[in-house]
Each structure stands twice: as structure tokens, then as C-alpha cells.
Amino acid sequence: MALSGVEIFKLLPKTNCKKCGHPTCLAFAMKLAQRQATLDLCPDVSEDAKKILGEASAPPVRPITFGTGDKAVKMGEETVLFRHDKKFVNPCVLAIEIKDTLSESDITKKIEEVLSSELDRVGQKLRVDAIALTNASGDKGKFEAAAKIISSKAPNVPVILSTTDTASAEAAVKIFTGKRPIVFGANSGNAEAMANIAKAEKAILGVTANSLDELSALTEKIKSLGVEDMVIDSGAKKAKDIIGNNTLIRRAAIKKNFKALGYPVINFAQRDDSLHEALIAAVGIAKYASIIVLSSIEKWKNLALFTLRQNIYTDPQVPMQVEQKIYKLGEPTQESPLMITTNFSLTYFIVSGEIENSKVPSRLAVMDCEGLSVLTAWAAGKFTASKIAAFIKESGIENEVKHRELIIPGYVAILSGSIEEKLEGWKITVGPREANGLPAFLKGRAA
């Protein structure tokens, strides 16, 4: 059961020492109750209280790592129903189905599509994360053979082994020993045997049912058999049912702390029509799916789903940022122009893109303004003449360029005089207000 703020407060030291970063123990207790703080921030909490509070403050959706190594993905750990309340934590895993009825060359082709699916968007690497091998043949030998191909050609990609046949599951999961696969297909008819297979191989168990009541009864039974890590499928296939069931599952976990449904959710979006499939997958991404299984990879579909996923799983309270440094665009010489902007990702990518469009090799000084855009950072006192001057002095750029000219965004033209005062020997030039004015501006200077 979730504890109220007052109940939590009773278990805290009540010294109001502020070490947790909150003014009082009560304020901290309230934050804990809202899952906006973690217990480890209080260094003085007793072991007894830790035990009680640790259980109560565990994330309502169980955190599970799927796969191992650098391609492992985290699932669950969610604490809110709405992204604006805090943030969604672990982006949903996109998996591509491979049926064991395919020929070896077709299986290999799909594996290669998964391996080459990665793209870079606003500084993040996005890709299809996993392979879902389906025992469509119903034949243990074919399932095992397909599993071996996947294991040899994509040894680091997390794998879902989908079958309700326990002998097939047991044979295939052994191929991925130590790699934390998901064995999907535990149902009311095979729960015990599947639980034993998952337990023996330390695999994650995928549990499927035709209703939420059946699903919660199954997870409780499987947990009592010693399997803690599960992903759950409510049987929903249509968009309406995916929204309905995923929402009920998340609400039960978050609002009621109902542990029997406190697991990452898997949805199956496969459709013959790719556009239809993309829409079903988008519904799952928007509404709480932790894994979505797709039937095919097309670059347009990847771009749409990756972008949606990235946007939904970006922390709304933390603007996306790039690293503070002097970026080289093209191959700048000691005479090349030097511009400055803030470290808001979108600003950086738009400005650097326009500089690249100009084909004028340049340097772009990107200053840490906590991810704020130029005007907002200026208004917040983070992009000021003295801070810009200090950044330029400390950046070491004076050793890289012969000139002493800094081009500032047109929106902060007002700063030019004061920067010149603070940055002795430098000339400040006001650039265009909008980034799309940069190509003409730079080409005009180079002419």
C-alpha cells in the first residue's frame, strides 16, 4: 500500500536538518508521497524506516532490464500517469517480429534491418531495440534453428522468444543463457512450466491473458513460484482496447499501487498494412506501452515512431541540451568566423544546420545556459555580457583564432556594447535575428 505524506513523516527523523534539500522533514515526506523524491536523500533515516519506506516507495511499475551489454534496455520504473506531472522514465522498446517460418536468408535480412536501423536525432541515437522471434511454425526444431541464427548474427540485440509451447521455449531460451531474454507466452494453461523455465534461465517472463482479472491472477501465481520479472499482455489488439487496458493497468499500478499489474506492458501492433501498424504502435507509445512488437521496418515508419517516442520520453522539466564547447563546422581556419549561441538542443541544431548550409567553415561557441534558448536565457540572466565574456576567455578560443571578432545573435544586439567592454580587444558583430539568415550573412562576409 502507498503511504500518505503524514504516515511517511512519522517514520522520518523529524530533525528538520535540511540535508535532503528540503526545508523540513514534513516537506520531504510530502515529496516522497508524491514520488517526487527518493528516500536515499535523507542520510539519517533508520534501518527500520528504510525497510518500510523502501517497499512503499518502490516504483509502482517494476524496473526491469531487458538484454545485457550496451544494447540492453530498461523498462518500467514509471511513477506517474501524466508526463507533465513528472516525466516518463524508460522509453518504450520497439521490437521487430521474425517468424520462424521464414527462410534463413529472410531471417538474416530482417536482422540486418534491425542492426542498421539506428539514426541520430537531436544528439540521441535511436533504433529498433529488440527482435521478437515467433514460433509461427509450431515446430520446436524450427524455433530453435531460427533462435540460433539470431543469436549468431545479432548477439547483442535483446530477444523476445514468443511461444506457448514449453518444450520450444526451453530449447530456445538456453541459446540466450545469461542474456536476459523475454520468454513470452505464459498463460493460464502453462504458467507453472513457463515460470520454471524463466526461473532456471533468469529470463524475463511474458505473461498473456484475455482479461485484466485473468492477467493479475496469473502474475500473482507466477510471482508465488519465484519469478519477479514479468512483462504483461492484456490481450488487447485493437487501438481502443490498447488505450483502455494500458490505461487501466497504469492507473491500477500508480494510483492503487496494485502490484499484480505493476509490470511493463507489451503490445502487439503487427498488421498487414504498414500505415495501420504505425498508427497502432503510435497509440501504444502514447499510452504506456513498454514494448511494442512490429512486423516490419521501413525508414519512414522508424522516423515517425522514433520521433514520437523521443518526444514523449523527454523530461518536460529539463530542456534538451548539448555540451558547452566550441564546435567546428566544416574545416575552419584561424581566420574563420566565430559565432555564439546557447546550449538549447533545438537552437544548436538549427544554428549549426544553417551554418553548414552556408558552406562557410566556422566555429560555433555554445554556452551552457541550462538548455534555454537565446532570448529566454538572456531574459533569465544566463546569457549576459559578463557571462559571455567569461565563457569566451575561459574557452581557450583565443589560441585557436587569429582574429578577435565574435558574432552574436541579432536578438541580443543590445549586449554588443557591454560585451566589448568586458572582452577587451574583441569586436562584437551583430548577426541575423533568425538562424535562417545565417547563410546569406556568412556568404556576404566571405564575398
Q: Is 393 exposed, middle or buried (0-12, 13-18, 19+ CB in 10 A)?
A: middle
Query: Interface with ligand SF4 includes 8 (CB under 6 A)?
Result: no
Kindly tell me which residue out of 3, 8, 11, 22 binds ligand SF4, with binding defined by CB under 6 A: 22
Query: Interface with ligand SF4 includes 28 (CB under 6 A)?
Result: yes
Q: Is 8 exposed, middle or buried (0-12, 13-18, 19+ CB in 10 A)?
A: buried
Cell reading at 424: 577587451
Query: Interface with ligand SF4 includes 432 (CB under 6 A)?
Result: no
Q: Segment near ligand SF4 (CB under 6 A), from 19-27, 167-175, 334-342, 374-382?
A: 19-27
For residue 14, the minimal CB distance to ligand SF4 (Å) is 7
For 119, other C-beta atoms within 10 Å of its C-beta total 14
Kindly tell me which residue out of 16, 65, 151, 188 binds ligand SF4, with binding defined by CB under 6 A: 16
Binding residues for ligand SF4, rule CB under 6 A, total 13
Q: Taking CA 310 as the corner, what is the angle to CA 298 and CA 344, rounded to the nearest 5 degrees?
A: 130
For residue 11, the minimal CB distance to ligand SF4 (Å) is 10
Cell reading at 243: 488505450
Query: Interface with ligand SF4 includes 12 (CB under 6 A)?
Result: yes
Burial 258-295 (b: 16+ CB within 10 A, else e): ebbbbbbbbbbbbbeeeeebbebbbbbbbbbbbbbbbb
Asked whether the beta carbons of 176 and 151 are under 8 A apart, the reply is yes
- Alpha carbons 79 and 82: distance in angstroms, whole number: 9
Q: Segment near ligand SF4 (CB under 6 A), from 18-26, 55-63, 147-155, 346-354?
A: 18-26
Kindly tell me which residue out of 5, 13, 244, 432 binds ligand SF4, with binding defined by CB under 6 A: 13
Query: Interface with ligand SF4 includes 44 (CB under 6 A)?
Result: yes
Q: Name the residue nearer to ligand SF4 (CB basis): 8 or 126.
A: 8
Cell reading at 360: 562557410
For residue 60, the minimal CB distance to ligand SF4 (Å) is 22
Query: Interface with ligand SF4 includes 18 (CB under 6 A)?
Result: yes
- Alpha carbons 47 and 54: distance in angstroms, whole number: 10
Q: Name the residue nearer to ligand SF4 (CB basis): 12 or 266.
A: 12
- The closest alpha carbon to 382, from 364, 370, 394, belongs to 370
Q: Name the residue nearer to ligand SF4 (CB basis): 49 or 304.
A: 49
Q: Segment near ligand SF4 (CB under 6 A), from 14-22, 112-120, 240-248, 377-385?
A: 14-22
For residue 24, the minimal CB distance to ligand SF4 (Å) is 6
**Chain contacts with ligand SF4 (rule: CB under 6 A):** 12-13, 15-20, 22, 25, 28, 42, 44
